Amino acid sequence: MGDHFVYKDVEGTTTEWDDIQRKLGNLPPKAAVFKPPPFTPASDDASKSKEWLDDRTEEELQDLEDDADLDDDRFLEEYRKKRLMEIKEAAKVARFGSVVPISGSDFVREVSQAPADVWVVVLLYKDGIADCGVLLQCLEELATKYPATKFVKIVSTDCIPNYPDRNVPTVLVYNNGAVKATHLGLLPFGYRKCTPESVALVLCQSDPVLNDGRSEGSASVTGVQKRFIEKVMKEHLDDDSDYSSDD
């Protein structure tokens, strides 16, 4: 039994006989030939929207600088420049944000040669000394809250050979390559009851050491003092409440 092939003509082609039969009503009307919808290029309006620009990185926004379509739209070009500036400002504010461990060979580069507009808080510590852990915890919270201030930590004897353990923790405050303040031990910060607020108050007692990137000079010091006073008052009120309840 041989193979059978079915021949199909071009879609929509009919015979003369079929045409006659359709005119007589013996065959149903011929089906319309399928035609795909006309091609229309995708609109690039989405690439020009504010929402689309909000999702771009700094590099992508820089690449759009020579985009003719964007240059034709003055509003969106200004908005692109504004977004680029916001990204750069945010990066500038959040330049630090944690207590970074350094070694003795890093000290000059990371501390002494830090930019003149950057305050550097240096913690000299030793592993296994409880007071160092207490102060480090406070500094870690302050580093998160004040990301424009640089916080570093270094093993005391890596920084200063034969540095006495009785002096740790030690906090050094640097600015413009010079030591602005030195604090030995936990006592200046309230000893074992020290808090991030009490540490911040001591650091800012003479200079605007802590900076969140949005406040300047005395405004930073005032903010630290205000938060510290509010915390002390709250603790005092809580103590009074506990005392009253015992009665």
Q: Hey, where are the domains in the chain? A: 50-93, 99-235
What are the residues whose beta carbons fall under 8 Å from the beta carbon of 104, sequence distance 6 or more? 154, 158, 159
What is the residue type of 141? E
Q: Taking a C-beta distance cutoff of 8 angstroms, is the pair 71, 77 a contact?
A: yes
Please tell me the distance from the alpha carbon of residue 140 to that of residue 132, in angstroms, as a whole number: 12
H or E stretch at 116: none
Mean local confidence (pLDDT), 179-207? 91
**Lowest mean pLDDT: which of 138-152, 163-177, 200-214, 218-232?**
218-232
pLDDT bin (cut points 50, 70, 90) of residue 46 is: very low
Report pLDDT for 224: 56
Question: In the predicted model, is pLDDT for residue 160 greater than 70?
Answer: yes
Q: Determine the topology of domain 99-235 in CATH.
A: Glutaredoxin (3.40.30)
Q: Where are the alpha helices (DSSP H) in 47-173?
A: 50-54, 58-63, 68-72, 74-93, 107, 130-145, 156-159
Find residue 152's DSSP bridge partners. Answer: 100, 122
Report pLDDT for 34: 66
**Lowest mean pLDDT: which of 3-17, 73-87, 215-229?**
215-229
